[in-house]
Structure 1
Amino acid sequence: MPSSKILPSRPRRASLDAANHVKDVERAVAPSEIAVGVIIGRTSEYFDFFVYAIASVLVFPSVFFPFADPLTGALWSFVIFSFAFIGRPIGTLLFMKIQSRYGRAVKLSTALFLLGTSTVGMAFLPSYATLGAGAIVLLSILRFTQGIALGGSWDGLSSLLALSAPKERRGWWAMIPQLGAPIGFMVAAALFLVLHSELPKQEFLDWGWRFPFYVAFAINVVALFARLRLVVTPEYERLLQHNKLVPSPVGKLLKARGSNLFIGAFATLASYALFHLVTVFPLSWISLYSNQSVNDVLTVQIAGGAIAVLGVVVSGLIADRFGRRNTLGSLAIAIALFSFVAPFLMRGSVMGEDIFILLGFALLGLSYGQAAGAVTANFEPEYRYTGAALTSDLAWLIGAAFAPLIALGMSAHFGLGFLGVYLFSGAVCTLVALRVNKVLESRA
């Protein structure tokens, strides 16, 4: 009697075909391909971010707050600087609603269009001398909408990259999205350095500072098409859906994993606090209270950015050897130690200021390289997309939004010792959050 095969039923065969198709897609989409999209997206966002940050030091106090003394003008500029970080979580929630209703492509296109419009709109703003207080109001609105757009531009590619990477190389792949920060900073700083060094001061304040905002808009357009080429293709869409990287109800997330949002935000506080204290703060402090030229500071900071790139890369190797949380904890201790010498470096010679910048960038690269994903990995798959976005938003809001304002204001009025206090408090918060997270995990 001839042998016969028992074929699976039609529904079962259909499900097997679907599962095999997902596996084929996962094999077709390499982590390196995802990494390219992540780096392009993050670099464009951070370039926008740092164009505004540098202008808030070199330009806005004179253009929008000419009625105030230099210190007060800088502080008012940093108040508006914080508006984007307040807008980020609002943008995340708003645009996730848009994604749920209209799809990922519409969400990303709208967010990046809003980001580009807000950024280039700043280039057309009249000065206080022309429009008075209306110019400050318009700058505030554009900065807030910039933050909403940054929150809305979350595409989930960094989470997809982490999930697609081999388990033993998670630290290496986790550092790749973080490369966008130092690269974006170096490009923005280099552009301002060229303009500030080549143009007379009055021409720079009249029109030269506007050019980087035009460039930011052009970069956004390029980044939009590069990212859309990834996230709207059927392969990526299926892979994102397969990994449940879709918006989840915020109420449900808060009920199930609300504490993890805040633990994740505080676990990276040392890194995020340091972020602005080696980029924005030194530029403002030195321009106000030091004899070192702005051009020299920007040159040193560009070199610091290159050191940070190397630090980010090295952090991946360290994390895969010793664990991402151990890496974050060890770097928090290093930042705490750095907080004791930071005031002495900044109140010393030009060499001391340069050492503060370069050493700070080295610590920033090593710590920021693993700031994403060490705690957000605790989210169940259904909450990871929304949880990772909101954790990042809260980390920026709590750790970085007011860092330049607080550090400059307190240091100017009460001494540079408060710079060390601010850094030390961030390091302590990171260590406490990592400890709490470990205790909660052991009980789970």
Structure 2
Amino acid sequence: MSEITLPTEHQTPPNLKRAIFGSLIGTSLEWYDFFLYGSAAALVFSHVFFPGFDPKTGTLLAFATFSIGFIARPVGGVIAGHYGDRVGRKNVLLVTISLMGATTVGIGLVPSYDSIGIAAPILLIICRLVQGIALGGEWAGGALMIAERAPDARRGYLTSFVQVGVPIGTLLSTAVLFIMSAVLSDEDFLQWGWRIPFLLSIVVVAVGVYIRRQVAETPAFLAMKEDEEVVETADKRPPIIQVLKEQPKDVLRVVGIRAGADIVYYTCVTFMLTYVAQQLGLPREVGLIASLIGAGFQLFAYPAFARLGDRYGRRPVTVFGAALCALWVFAFFPLMDTKNAALIAIAVVSGLIFHAAMYGVQAAWICELFDTKHRYSGASLGYQLSGIVGGSLAPTISLALFNAFDSTLPIQIYVALGCVIVLITALATRETRGIDIMPASNKEL
């Protein structure tokens, strides 16, 4: 029997396969580190690093350190974008994963407040800052490694595997915390058990670095560097200045379509863990299991919605997801308040699936908005700025609103408004489905 050969448009070249695998694994490992911190902030850090405060205030302070990582991310995005646009995407990604892993191990080694006093939360904040800088350069680089070599008609679907790294990271971090929480007593878990998942990042770093060393630089970046005309007339200003001068509205558009999606996600995952454990008085395993199930569904939801984005466009899929999430949030807390584990899981899973409609198409859409010469800088800056106004503040604002009003209605309104902003921004952002993102004079490459 002769071998069946797929049409060219359905083949995945070896370099593209390695890029997809490298970006997927690397991003998964990066997000494992980042989400591990968020889960620990919700469940552990108020006891370990802020023991002198009441539980609500201690958790609020722990979420504040969580927010610091987001504030540092645009700094990392600017730094990584500069070198990623000037010297290449690949080497920057090797640095980000190494730095991320090292600081995560460092968090696992920080002594408690009871051991060294105020120095403990200070060291925690320093580690979190460095962690945020590392992650700030990660997402855009991983997305570009795929987007800049993917076929135009399949770019959304293939690039969505960078987004799939998010639920994989959630699954890994939540599963490890769940296992440690389940097999240890509360005392042992709070004293030392929570540290084990952080220390495991030393394995994460070794695997991630090995995989990323095997991935070649992107054709679009190489084409730009090899074009003599482009080199001779290159803008000598830093890429971040170029993108702010030439495409400032696109940076703001990225913030607009991203921030609301972050608000949905971190309310549904991070704040939910605190709400279930502290307000509802349920075992922390209830929230962790719901998060695990939701992340499992997202593994398939991201590529599915991205494929729809390749067929119908990035804009309509995003608008659909934003509208669903704006309605969903008004059912989310009533389902949680039943204290029924199955209904809590349904609330979380449905929210994360609706969120996937927004997030699944964003990797391709954001990359397609920017010119090759400052694409890393533009994509990083817009993505990470949205993290500050969206994800970083979502758990803190949600908790503050609940403490102030003793009601979840203000939180629901807050999340719904974020979704409305996504919807409006998406409608105001140009459709990019199927465009050619190679440098203009190098289309044949």
Q: Same fold (TM over 0.5)?
A: yes
Are 1:430 and 2:422 matched, yes or no?
yes
What do the CA deviations read for 1:139-159 (whole angstroms, capped 9, x no partner)?
Answer: 111101111111244573422
Are 1:257 and 2:238 matched, yes or no?
no
Please show how residues 207-222 of structure 1 align to structure 2 within 5 Å.
207-222=192-207
Instruction: In structure 1, list runs of 5 or more residues that go unmatched.
Output: 1-25
Residue 166 and residue 237 in structure 1: after superposition, are their counterparts in 2 closer, same or farther (change >3 A)? closer
Counterpart in the other structure of 1:123: 108
Please show how residues 290-369 of structure 1 align to structure 2 within 5 Å.
290-350=280-340, 351-369=342-360
The residue identity in structure 2 corresponding to 1:315 is F
Q: CA deviation at 1:359?
A: 1.2
Are 1:151 and 2:151 matched, yes or no?
no
Please show how residues 104-115 of structure 1 align to structure 2 within 5 Å.
107-115=92-100
Secondary structure, aligned partner of 1:373: helix
For residue 150 of structure 2, the aligned residue among 152, 157, 165 is: 165
Aligned equivalents of 2:307 and 2:80: distance in 1?
35
For residue 240 of structure 1, the aligned residue among 218, 221, 225 is: 221
For residue 177 of structure 1, the aligned residue among 153, 162, 165 is: 162
Counterpart in the other structure of 2:27: 42
Q: CA deviation at 1:282?
A: 0.8
TM-score when normalising by structure 2: 0.86
Are 1:288 and 2:288 matched, yes or no?
no
Counterpart in the other structure of 1:134: 119
The residue identity in structure 1 corresponding to 2:290 is V
Aligned equivalents of 2:96 and 2:311: distance in 1?
38
Alignment root-mean-square deviation, CA? 2.6
Secondary structure, aligned partner of 1:423: helix
TM-score when normalising by structure 1: 0.86
Q: Percent identity?
A: 29
Secondary structure, aligned partner of 2:200: helix
Counterpart in the other structure of 1:408: 399
Counterpart in the other structure of 1:380: 371
The aligned length equals 412
Aligned residues of 2:315 and 2:427 also touching (Cα < 8 A): no
Question: Bigger radius of gyration, 1 or 2?
Answer: 1
Aligned equivalents of 1:438 and 1:332: distance in 2?
17
What do the CA deviations read for 1:269-302 (whole angstroms, capped 9, x no partner)?
Answer: 3321111112111101111011321112212221
Aligned residues of 2:90 and 2:212 also touching (Cα < 8 A): no
What do the CA deviations read for 1:102-156 (whole angstroms, capped 9, x no partner)?
Answer: 7666544443332222111111111111111111111111101111111244573
Counterpart in the other structure of 2:58: 73
What do the CA deviations read for 1:309-368 (whole angstroms, capped 9, x no partner)?
Answer: 121121123212321111001110111111222232233332442322121122123322
Are 1:271 and 2:261 matched, yes or no?
yes
Instruction: In structure 2, list runs of 5 or more residues that go unmatched.
Output: 1-10, 227-233, 433-445
Residue 341 and residue 132 in structure 1: after superposition, are their counterparts in 2 closer, same or farther (change >3 A)? same
Are 1:59 and 2:44 matched, yes or no?
yes
Counterpart in the other structure of 2:436: none
Aligned equivalents of 1:417 and 1:381: distance in 2?
44
Counterpart in the other structure of 1:7: none
